[in-house]
Each structure stands twice: as structure tokens, then as C-alpha cells.
Amino acid sequence: MGLECLFALRKRLARSLVAHGFDPASRGQFEGWSAVEEEIIQHLQGLLTLDRYEYEVQIFLNGPPADFEGEAPLVDLVQGGETISVGVCYASDQLVSHLVEQEHQKVPGYEKINTVLRYRISLPVEDEEESYLQAYP
């Protein structure tokens, strides 16, 4: 299990503990261990049966502003027999925030971003490296 997976599991465990009432400041007995255990076991079993990885690609632009609510379809592309729908939306603070908070450094030019192109791709877990290399560009 890679380091990134361990960090993701740690975050999942922390969210589950908080959701079931765990308070580290409290010295009282925590009664939610079985619920947390069940939730984490279900998550790990889901990973065992995972057959596809899902990715969302976001391309940040300083272009004509997308000053409307939601996402508007821009174009449908076909790659390897699969249709990829590209949409355009406003660069909200939520979308841009991870550019600002990236390891306590700001990505240069983030303040000029006003538009985002987004699309989703799905790749089989067992695919060869070549499939992933073709999907990224």
C-alpha cells in the first residue's frame, strides 16, 4: 500500500471517528468503535473490488469568463471508443483553493484564473501503463 493510500485511509478513519462521536479531548469511554470498524472494513472491501479508477481533469484558464451558474457542455471528444464530455464553468473559490494552498505556496498567476474546463475519465485498474499515458495528454 503506497504512502498516498495510507494518508487517504487515515483521513477516512478520522472522518469516521468524528462522525461517530469520538472526541479526543474527552476522557470518557468511546462507544462507537464497532461502527467505525464496520465503516472502515466496508471501505477496504470496496477497494478490493475496485475495477476502474475515476479521475476529474480540471484545466484552469484566464479566458473569457464563464459567468453563469453550474457547468455548460462545451464539446464531446472520442478517444479509444469512449466519449469524453468537456464542460466549462466559473472558477469558483472552491475550485481554485487547492492551487492557493498547495504545500503553503501559491501557484503563480492563480489570481487571474476565471474559467475552468472539466472532464472525467475512467480507466480500468488492471490496464497497462500505456493506457494511462495515452489518457493524460
Q: What is the mean pLDDT of residues 8-15?
A: 85
Grid cell of 99 as nine digits: 492551487
pLDDT value for 68: 78
Is the model more confident about 8 or about 114? 114
pLDDT range class, residue 137, cuts 50, 70, 90: low
Q: Is residue 6 classed as helix, strand or coil in its secondary structure?
A: helix
Q: What pLDDT, in 10s, does the model give residues 99-110?
A: 776 555 667 777
pLDDT range class, residue 87, cuts 50, 70, 90: very high
Is the model more confident about 125 or about 90? 90
Residue ranges of alpha helices (H) inside 3-66 are 3-19, 33-48
Q: What is the mean pLDDT of residues 51-65?
A: 83
Start-to-end CA distance of the chain, whole Å, equals 27
CA atoms of 90 and 60, how far apart (whole Å): 10
Q: Give the mean pLDDT of the chain.
A: 80
